[in-house]
Amino acid sequence: MSGTELDRKGSDKDQEGETLLCVEHVSKVFPVKKRRLTAVDDVSLTLYKGEMLGVVGESGCGKSTLAKIIAGSLKATSGRVTLNGIEYPKLKGTAAKNHRRNIQMVFQDPLSSFSPRMKIGTYLSEPRRNYDHLPRSEAWREAGALLEQVGLPASFLDRFPHELSGGQLQRVAIARAIAIDPPLLICDEATGALDVSIQDQIAALLVRLIKERNIGCLFIGHDPALVRSISNRVAVMYLGRVVELMPSRLLEKEHRHPYTGALLDSIFDVYCDQSAEIRLLEGEPPSPLRLQSGCAFAPRCPQCTERCRRTVPELKDIGGGHFVACVET
């Protein structure tokens, strides 16, 4: 996949634009049988207007929890989240409801994002009818136009979700998400459940749409190659923490955190040396229930030193918009 570079990103804009989303020291702790599960641990991120920020990490690293906190469906245990300067998780009543239109989500499993008895047309007209009180017929007409924008025929309006393929459904889900022009779109593993060939098409569609409409996008995935190829910057998460944040062109060659290296080594590539031994990360990630002192990656890290086991590394700026949380760099 990394070989075929689609028309993506446009310019590698590292220059910082206007801040859209600001996540400051956000943590989420779930109580699990009198113990505490730290799903997201002191994460700070900034997303600029019109930017695609990728988030990668293995299963259970807190990516989806972070997405839910940003989408407002989970309350953070501590920390602040602001969109255009508004701390929206604190909003109440009508203000909260009206603010929801600003952040839309596309989920991993296309089929379960659809009510099985709702026609595609109804599904697509919902946001415009609910937020802008558009009459049914007008919203339906707009829904047809939306379908065409995501490359599907308007005749799909009368179909039911189970009559469409996964890729088609994901296009519809994207169409619904952009129907009300949200400033922020969150894609939670939006391509994770699709065939590789379809993944590429969906990714290309997303990039085109967010560029056309200047939407900021948080793209969560577990395939570093895909995430790198479509996003402007990439954040690498490990056990609830952001361990490295960099412009995505630096990911391949200039990453500094050992975990990022391990993650990249795990990518399979048709052009890779088939005879070379696959380097595996030793051991399982430690349970988020038992966070030890020091760097969370220390038990699996090949470069681990005594210092790593004692101090929790902070995200340090090493220049050029590159941040890394490792004691040894």
Partner 1 sequence: MSSYRKKAWMRFSLFMFLAVLFVLFALLAGFLAPKDPLTTDYGHMLEKPGAGHLFGTDQLGRDIFSRILHGGRSSLLIAFAVTGIVAAVGIFLGTAAGYAGGILDGVIMRICDTLMAFPGIIFTVALVSFIGTGLPNLILAMSLTSWTGYARISRALVLSVKNNVYIEQARLGGASGLRVLGVYIIPNILPSLLVNISQSIGSNLLTISALSLLGLGSPPPTPEWGLMLSEGKNFIYNAPWMLIFPGMVILVCVVIFNLLGDSIQDLMNPRENIY
Q: Where on the chain is the footprint of partner 1 (CB under 8 A)? A: 71, 73, 97, 100-101, 103-105, 107, 109, 112-118, 126-127, 130-131, 160, 162, 173, 176, 180
Task: Annotate 65-99 with b (16+ C-beta within 10 A) or e (fewer).
Answer: bbbbbbbbebebeebebbbeeeebbeeeeeeeeee
Nearest approach, Cβ of residue 298 and partner 1 (Å): 36
Measured between alpha carbons, how far is 28 from 61 in angstroms, rounded to an integer? 12
Q: Which is nearer to partner 1, 128 or 241 (CB)?
A: 128
- CB closer to partner 1 out of 21 and 236: 21
Q: Which is nearer to partner 1, 189 or 223 (CB)?
A: 189
Q: Which of 127, 294 has the CB closer to partner 1? A: 127
Least distance between partner 1 and beta carbon 36 (Å): 23
CB of 233 to partner 1, least distance (A): 25
Burial 193-206 (b: 16+ CB within 10 A, else e): bbeeebbbbbbebb
Pick 159 or 300: Cβ nearer partner 1: 159
CA distance 224 to 266: 9
Q: At its nearest, how many Å lie between partner 1 and the CB of residue 114? A: 6
CB of 116 to partner 1, least distance (A): 6
Q: Lay out the sheet containing 233-238: strands in order across.
A: 103-106, 184-188, 216-221, 52-56, 233-238, 241-247, 323-324, 316-317
